[in-house]
Structure 1
């Protein structure tokens, strides 16, 4: 019986924390027109003329700070564990492959392995709980561009998002329980940021995004594919699971780039605001990430932690990501449709 192929795709990571490898990764990532969605000439000048030459050495130092001498990149390490665990959970009727949208293991090589194995169909699971054009949408485009060149291809399906997956929500909640959330002054749900213009582009009604600043706070039929609305919904579900009252948590967005307005409020500004209000202990979730990486391990724990302390705070505690939690592997398995008889 032919196997069904499962392709897990995460964002990507440099091959090493060297400046050259980080530059290569940033160049591929930021040159994606879905990531920096501006005029191609302007994008090239911005990325290759300004961002990567100046940012690569700085980013390399950050990667060096989180790089494990034995397992290397945390994102790749946990992604490989997820692949292995899902393969074991699904069994021999499936072939589970892992790819990164940028750098290695490449999507092209993973697809070639699935094609060589003669799988009867391929189900793609972009490892981004909330849909965004710059992440999930980019994966769609890359895969269809490659498979579209094949003389023949199997059926291909995609998981659009899993922002409200019950087992995923439970995993984040379980990871937080060991820190006793009720003992913290405030809880942050910090999601990866996006330029505001990308949310407006995703509004097919062309007016919903412009009606009010609170349009993302409730998930509806109109904004159900909106990254910000899905992020708010994820945070609310985790808060409800842990009985965190609304006044005790804030939804915010990190990792902005450039001077254009991004989705707000910004995590850095919220951290400063809470410190100025006299808050001493913060608990931080990053529910846009399924594996711990630079944005969680370093940006939250070190950058925001140091900033918070410099303003009078005492401690910022990161809630670990989903990583290879058995419950999250079960969540992935639940997304997989059974092979054809």
Structure 2
């Protein structure tokens, strides 16, 4: 019997500092998030970060927390329920960090008699700290607890025509009737070394401004290339003029070089250069979360206004849009009937 597992990033159980600390511990101790030797990672996370960051992060979560709970969890559950209405297969939901866990999601499917799972990481682009860590943990859990179960994963869909159409439509609808001088495509940031580590050719990725434009097998797992390609395809779809849009990366941590340009600096630069009306979209996320609602929707907007900007239009993620539900349901049903996956 077949079934589906949707997997998103995750969230603390509450905006209480204790729950946020537990969540950050699991998240930051992941070797694919902070990819340094275990002892150094433990020193950084348990010795430094978890003694200072939980209270600050808890305050940020409180700003965006909904009455129903974490926005990311609530939106993921809404997506799950809508997809359930469009397919005959069991559909479970899991989070890489926090609850419900991947083990819980697989157990739920197992209890319904599922032996063949289509796992959909809810990330358009592939990255070590997102898709890869989901795949690795899911396989570990499968081997230990569900050895008879088969898992097939949906590859990164950043370039899929149907996904691009949904994303483009969501941007167009959000900006209808609004004036803006520039639209910024802001993606989650990762350390530059993650790009090199994901390079299957071991030689192509140089982050020099040209390698992402040069065809290579490395692009299958190159987060930077996939982000720029998402921007390019959406810009083509919306017929955006050259110079009216750009790409940046947010949420860096520590002092190591991360993908640039940085979103916070980019937003400030545009305001200081005289841009008064700006729009921003966050295509690295399917569901709105702390990074989109607080970091972009509150902090970046405040920075833009403080530096002289006037209007800052934050475009929601595609969340549980009906057209997105239709696309995902079609992928699932095609896999169910024809064993084909979106590529």
Tell me the equivalent position of 1:168: 163
TM-score by length of 1: 0.94
Tell me the equivalent position of 2:277: 281
Query: Would the aligned equivalents of 2:201 and 2:217 in 1 still touch at CA under 8 Å?
Result: no
TM-score by length of 2: 0.94
User: In structure 1, which of residues 186, 191, 199 is the aligned counterpart of residue 182 of structure 2?
Assistant: 186
Tell me the equivalent position of 2:288: 292
Coordinate RMSD, CA, aligned: 1.7
Tell me the equivalent position of 1:338: 336
Task: List structure 1 segments (4+ residues) > 3 angstroms apart after TM superposition.
Answer: 217-222
Tell me the equivalent position of 1:83: 80
Tell me the equivalent position of 1:119: 114
User: In structure 2, which of residues 159, 184, 197 is the aligned counterpart of residue 201 of structure 1?
Assistant: 197
Cα separation, partners in 2 of 1:279 and 1:181, compared to 1, 3 Å: farther
Tell me the equivalent position of 1:229: 225
Tell me the equivalent position of 2:267: 271
Query: Would the aligned equivalents of 1:185 and 1:248 in 2 still touch at CA under 8 Å?
Result: yes
Q: Which whole-Å CA distance do the structure 1 matches of 2:297 and 2:242 have between them? A: 24
Q: Which whole-Å CA distance do the structure 1 matches of 2:317 and 2:177 have between them? A: 16
Q: Which whole-Å CA distance do the structure 1 matches of 2:142 and 2:192 have between them? A: 31
> Unaligned 5+ residue runs, structure 1?
none
Q: Which whole-Å CA distance do the structure 1 matches of 2:244 and 2:237 have between them? A: 14
> Unaligned 5+ residue runs, structure 2?
none
How many residues are aligned here? 336
Offset at residue 151 of structure 1 (A): 6.4
Deviation per CA, 1:226-248: give whole Å up to 9, x if none. Answer: 01101111111111111112211
Cα separation, partners in 2 of 1:35 and 1:62, compared to 1, 3 Å: same
**Secondary structure of the corresponding residue to residue 8 of structure 1:** strand
Q: Which whole-Å CA distance do the structure 2 matches of 1:193 and 1:39 have between them? A: 21
Q: Which whole-Å CA distance do the structure 1 matches of 2:255 and 2:46 have between them? A: 17
Tell me the equivalent position of 1:301: 297
Tell me the equivalent position of 1:19: 17
Pairing of 1:23-38 with structure 2 (within 5 A): 23-38=21-36
